[in-house]
Amino acid sequence: MAEDMILEIGTEELPSGFITPALEQLKDMMTQELGGYRIQFREIITWGTPRRLVLYVREVGERQSDVIKEVKGPPGKIARDESGNPTPAVRGFARSQKVEINDLFMKSTPHGEYVFAKIVETGRNAMEILTELLPAIIKKIYFPKNMYWEESQFRFARPVRWILALLGTQVIPFKIASLSSGRFTFGHRFLSAGPLEISSTETFRDILYENKVILSQDERKEMIEKQIKSLIREPGADILNNPSLMEEVNFLIEYPTSFAGNFSPDYLVLPKEVLITVMSKHQRYFTVLDTDGNILPCFIAVRNGDEKGLSLVRAGNERVLVARLADAKFFFEEDKKKSLQEILYKLKGIGFQKNLGTMLDKTNRIKELSRFILISMNKKELLPYGERAAELCKADLASHMVKEFPELQGIMGGIYALEEEEAVWKGIRSHYKPSSVNDELPDTLIGQVISLADKMDNVTGCFGAGFLPTGSADPYGVRRYTLGVIRLLLYGELEVNLLDLFYRAFELYLEGGFSLKDKKVAEIDFEDFVFQRFENHLLSAGYKYDVIKSIRKGAFINLKDTLLKIKALTIVRDLPEFDSLVIAFTRAFNILQKASFNLNFSTSLLIEEEEHNLYDNFKRTSNELEEFFNKPVIDYTEVMNRLSSLRTCIDRFFDHVMVMVPEDALRNNRLSLLDMVVRLYLRIADFSQIVVEGSEK
């Protein structure tokens, strides 16, 4: 009979950001393991609160499904002796498989007839398997940070205090972290007393609810949203849309009670970003906006508990917020007494990274890299704005406000630079973007230039100093900065040779007197690392791995152009004639890789009709393509169509012309002709990397 299963891992309060990934892992692992063990189930649900991770499986099968296997034994020709009796080999096979000789049977295979035995592997009891499976799954949960607290030194995000594991009414017995699984759980830390005995999976949620634990994160979120809506009094007002804050708050509580508080309108003189940061980042309050998007002098917070003593809780939260806002107002007023230019020198006292100088050193490098980028793009008219924005972009790190509220770096710089040109303060304000995979790009060209220069300085310094990611550890954020560089060059307004930019960034470190490893080694490491990030980005977008590998050579000259090539190759690879084009190219490419010749082509040495035909079509196609290559944006789909026209000529050349003839001059000329054709194709991609049926690798 199918029964529900519960696994509850009870812990000290987990960091809110750890819970959702852990629940996803639990669900994925359980789905995979139950399938692998051949145990039927209807549905897997996960719930999480700060004190518990719960895995709930509906209608778990009583046992594994049976498996019928056919095991091959001796060849049929030695199955019986001259008298027609089973041979010793057959008897031994039957004994080893624990079957009767009469149950054996003959079966034809590609290698002839063989004796087979049919083995029925009876499924094990689900309880037996879950006893092994659940502790293994718990041990596999990955957290960004772990700790251990008991003698076995079992690691988890926070100390595990209890484990509940039930299949229907029965405990699933196992031991982990010096704890034995059982049928006891705990309710709300402050609103429930003592352990709670769970008689069956059916009563689990109800008992927790009675003890002030709303187990479902979706139900808690719905409660919070309804409570917030009921607390907003001003018509048309609403909270600032902040999904990350909602998720964080949701996973900080087990029983939500929302309440509204107020603060003095005097603090509304602070910049909107400061008010939002103080309320959401530091206090985890929801900001309330009027119909015009202006901040109202009130907030909504969520308590982990009931309404008892709520007026005291509200007053306490108001006092804390006012103190934080008073500090912010003081810092803001102090900062405004000096310009960014005046506090710029203080960057001397702020370190960048070990062995890579100060933030003032970094600022000077960003300024030079920004200049390099703008000149490379023929945007010399923007140099005054780019250099000024680069010069001031890190100055706010020395401000009182950013020291107290680091989340406001860049934003405060933009606010303090409002007296500068618009291109300058907007560039400063947005230059930290994109800070994550889902973050938007800077909305101005100057902002994108400063962002690229800043991130390339970080990445280059790390590669030069050897601060590279190892496994999942990336303390210097090299992966994140590299992906930011890729996104800026793919989707922004920037067009610059990435390797040239790396060389310039490397030279700036050397010019500053910093000791880095060999430039060529750093370059190879950088190119491999960036291409791997680029490849992963494109794979996640749905492009094929072989197409991506085919454009590696020269990919960093212009990433936008590289992406256009990939899109065109993706379109044409599904055409019927594409496979034969790749096969023809690969055949020529492989011959050239193995042959030794001098590039010394002469039309006077063309003998066969197919040689003339290939050369004439090559010249025509080459001239046509030059017109495409000289355009600002190249239509690679049309380029591919033109290249495809050479396919028939190449095929006929190989069908009727012997390339590796004894005569040196003739052989060299034919190899040179093939080399010219191959080089034309290589301007698009290395087609030998593309996998098609029948291609030579």
Q: Are 204 and 168 in contact (CB under 8 A)?
A: no
The three-state secondary structure class of 499 is helix
Which candidate, 560, 549, 406, places its Cα nearest to that of 490? 560
Structure tokens at 17: 């950001």
Structure tokens at 175: 């031991």
- 257 sits in which H/E element: strand 256-262
Cis peptide before 74 (omega within 30 of 0): no
Q: In what order do the strands lie in the sheet with 160-167?
A: 43-49, 52-60, 3-11, 160-167, 170-171
pLDDT of residue 697: 47
pLDDT of residue 693: 62
Which candidate, 53, 42, 52, 48, places its Cα nearest to that of 4? 42
The three-state secondary structure class of 162 is strand
User: What burial class does residue 276 get, using C-beta atoms within 10 Å of its C-beta: 0-12 exposed, 13-18 middle, 19+ buried?
Assistant: buried
Which candidate, 17, 18, 626, places its Cα nearest to that of 9? 18
Q: Are 425 and 418 in contact (CB under 8 A)?
A: yes
pLDDT of residue 40: 92
pLDDT of residue 543: 92
Q: In what order do the strands lie in the sheet with 295-304?
A: 238-239, 286-289, 295-304, 256-262
What lies within 8 Å, CB to CB, of 225 at 6+ separation is: none
Planar angle of CA 619, 621, 622, nearest 5 degrees: 65
d(CA 111, CA 532): 45
Structure tokens at 297: 């002098």
Q: Are 217 and 251 in contact (CB under 8 A)?
A: yes
Q: Are 656 and 593 in contact (CB under 8 A)?
A: no
d(CA 225, CA 222): 5
d(CA 544, CA 567): 10
Tokens 């454009």 label which residue? 551
User: Largest alpha-carbon pair distance within the chain?
Assistant: 111
Which candidate, 404, 410, 248, 249, places its Cα nearest to that of 323? 404
Structure tokens at 662: 């004894």
As averages over each run of 10 residues, the pLDDT of the chain (697 residues) reads: 94 96 96 92 97 97 86 90 88 90 88 89 90 96 93 94 97 95 96 94 96 97 96 91 95 97 96 96 95 95 95 96 96 94 94 91 97 96 97 96 95 95 96 92 96 96 88 86 96 95 95 88 91 93 91 92 90 79 84 80 89 91 87 83 84 88 88 90 88 59
Buried b / exposed e over 410-447, threshold 16 CB at 10 Å, is: bbbbbbbbeebeebbbbbbbbbbbbeeeeeebbebbbb
Cβ neighbours, 10 Å, residue 407: 15
Helical packing angle, 217-231 and 243-250, nearest 10°? 120
Radius of gyration, alpha carbons of the chain: 35
Cα 507 to the chain's mean position, in Å?
31
d(CA 486, CA 451): 12
Identify the DSSP state of 144. Answer: S
Identify the DSSP state of 182. Answer: B
Measured between its terminal Cα atoms, the distance across the chain in Å is 55
Q: Are 248 and 283 in contact (CB under 8 A)?
A: no
Rounded to two decimals, the pTM is 0.81
pLDDT of residue 83: 84
pLDDT of residue 651: 86
d(CA 448, CA 434): 9
| Contacts of 329-332 spanning 24+ positions with Cβ under 8 A | 329/267, 329/269, 329/270, 330/400, 331/399, 331/400, 331/401, 331/404, 332/270, 332/271, 332/274, 332/401
d(CA 552, CA 387): 33
pLDDT of residue 502: 96
DSSP 53-78: EEEEEEEE-SBPPPEEEEEEEEEGGG
d(CA 509, CA 487): 24
Q: Which residues pair with 6 in a beta bridge?
A: 56, 166
